[in-house]
Structure 1
Amino acid sequence: MKADLAANPAWSGAPSQTDEFLLMFLRAEVFSPSAAANRYRKFWKAKITLCGEEKAALPIKFEDARAALESEFVQLVPGTRDIEGRQVVMIVSSNMDKTLERRLRLLSVWYVLLAALEDVETQRRGFCFVGYQKAVKRSQADPTFVKMVMQSLQGALPVRIGSINICYPPTFFRVVWGIINPFLHERVKRRVRVIPGTDAEVLGVLGAIVPPDGLPPPMGPKPKEFSAWLAEQAQKDA
């Protein structure tokens, strides 16, 4: 990977990185050096677009994305893993605040995932995404933003996608899916599960992947810990 980057460098302003940081990209690409180097280059291109060249070399801080993080549309679920040991992240679409600019919302996604990737086991095993769509309104749908997130997951962030579980898809889901589907890699499409039905039906299917008692409201009974996790992250950033 280092030889590949030496021959075709990433952004010239990127800070020198530790082997531990580069390992995240190798693990995301199942130790393919060329694919890992390519993802690393894309990471910096995407981060420049997201943060601006003057801030791209700096870590993303809680205060940079505070408003979007506190809306809790993207939530790490501390302590909960799927049956394969993957870190669970919930996407609560009804919490989406479209008055916030897309860049800020995307920054919050990056913040949560990069913080979770500080755990080596999450780097190795990846993520299980659970999308809660039950209370979402058509006015909250934002296919452009979904494409931005998927492009980050597929090609820039050092993330392994174990599964994406879309629960309670709304009636307009087909429209949104039709817009984002062409932008998804085939291997990502194979990891998408759409789970419609009643509470019992959805939790029955999802329960084979994620323990139902390991999910917080609005899906499960686990005490909500994301706010406390955010507070800890903010303190660390300070």
Structure 2
Amino acid sequence: MTINVEVDNDGVPFIRLGKHELRLDVEDISGEYEERARRELMETPERVQEGLQRFRELILAEKGLSLPIDDDKFLCKFLRPFKFNADLAFKVMKKFYKFKVKYPRYGGFNVTPEGVRHVFDNEVFVMMPTRSRTGGRIMIVNAGSKWNPKVVSLEDMFRSVMVAIEIAMMEPKTQVGGVNVILNLEGLSISHVYQFSPSMAKLIADWVQECAPVRLRGLHVVNQPYIFNMGYRIFKPFLGEYIKKRLSFHGTNYKSLTEQIGEDSLPEKFGGTADIPDYPGSQFSNMLFYYQQNFKDYHNFGFVDELREKIERSDSKDSMKIDKS
């Protein structure tokens, strides 16, 4: 089946998938989502303005933090998931950017669609064109038979998740509706489990729970074999109540999965009724490449000087090691 990336009259790239279209929803919210934001996030014009004003004050007072403080849309992508509580949003936003400084190999300047293209090309990470019944974005991580660690390293998989979170932050609909992650473990083997050390498990868990400024609506584990228990024991000590409340183990019981996400939101292979054909991962990469410059622009934000200095120091140390060898 040939699937190509098309561009609509507004210049937005998309992929036709049966009756559905896969695209990034970057337009402002209206209608159902506007009402949902008011009801679930207490989003009123007065609260938005109060949140923006307080958020700007906190940003300006933080030494070394560079953000486009006059861009309401940019600031709202951090505020909206936290119901315009500026102090809480700022706390998580600061952790989001400090993580990039602390772990530049994961959150540095290579976190772009092009930088992790091979992850999408190999369909280790897939995005659905549909949304959940609560308006959330549906993302699938195929961490079993689709994942060849020799081709896609665990580090690159983590970077691809960070790219996906940036996508979620770009979409006002997802800021409101949140994200549902389906962890498909069909074909999981001992070689996959051995990729995870306790320190890496803690790093991933801490980032999801403390640094990701999105509404995680659900983390759904499906098709897990017995060997999964070994991997879960590595992660379990680092999971707080935030994750535990959102974590569901479905196995092959797709009925419980569709009850939570929506039958008409999922394809048949996950127990749903949506007519969504499989599509080449390379086409998803091609669609995201239209946003490559956006991701490069994002690297101008945060504790940029601190991050650049740390990367330069790291490169200098690597050069010294090479010279001595």
- TM-score computed with the length of structure 2 as normaliser: 0.62
Greater RCO, CA 8 A, separation 6+: 2
In structure 1, the residue matched to 2:259 is 208
In structure 2, the residue matched to 1:105 is 157
Alignment gaps of 5+ in structure 2 = 1-54, 294-325
Select 1:232's aligned residue among 264, 287, 307.
Answer: 287
- 2:138–2:179 CA contact under 8 A, matched in 1: yes
Please, what is the CA RMSD of the aligned residues?
Answer: 2.8
Q: 1:50 to 1:75 in 2, by over 3 A?
A: farther
Amino acid across the alignment from 1:195: H
1:190-216 CA distance string (max 9 Å, x none):
11011124xxxx121112123446435
- 1:14–1:44 CA contact under 8 A, matched in 2: no
Confirm whether residue 173 of structure 1 aligns to residue 228 of structure 2: yes
The equivalences for 1:79-228 within 5 A come to 80-94=130-144, 95-99=146-150, 100-141=152-193, 142-144=195-197, 145-197=200-252, 202-212=253-263, 214-216=265-267, 219=270, 222-225=276-279, 227-228=282-283
Amino acid across the alignment from 1:178: R
Taking the aligned partners of 2:115 and 2:102, their CA distance within structure 1 comes to: 15
Taking the aligned partners of 1:132 and 1:151, their CA distance within structure 2 comes to: 21
Amino acid across the alignment from 1:39: V
Confirm whether residue 73 of structure 1 aligns to residue 124 of structure 2: yes
Taking the aligned partners of 1:120 and 1:83, their CA distance within structure 2 comes to: 16
Confirm whether residue 5 of structure 1 aligns to residue 55 of structure 2: no
The Cα of 1:97 is off from its aligned counterpart by 3.0
In structure 2, the residue matched to 1:46 is 99
Taking the aligned partners of 1:147 and 1:24, their CA distance within structure 2 comes to: 26
Higher mean displacement: 133-142 or 97-106: 97-106
The Cα of 1:218 is off from its aligned counterpart by 5.4
- 1:217–1:224 CA contact under 8 A, matched in 2: no
Q: 1:164 to 1:116 in 2, by over 3 A?
A: same
Structure label with greater radius of gyration: 2
Amino acid across the alignment from 1:222: I
1:17-40 CA distance string (max 9 Å, x none):
533222222222233222211111
SS at match of 1:62: coil
The Cα of 1:90 is off from its aligned counterpart by 0.7
> Alignment length, in residue pairs?
229
- TM-score computed with the length of structure 1 as normaliser: 0.82
Q: Could you tell me the percent identity over the aligned residues?
A: 21
Taking the aligned partners of 1:73 and 1:215, their CA distance within structure 2 comes to: 18
SS at match of 2:116: helix
Q: 1:231 to 1:218 in 2, by over 3 A?
A: farther
The Cα of 1:85 is off from its aligned counterpart by 1.3
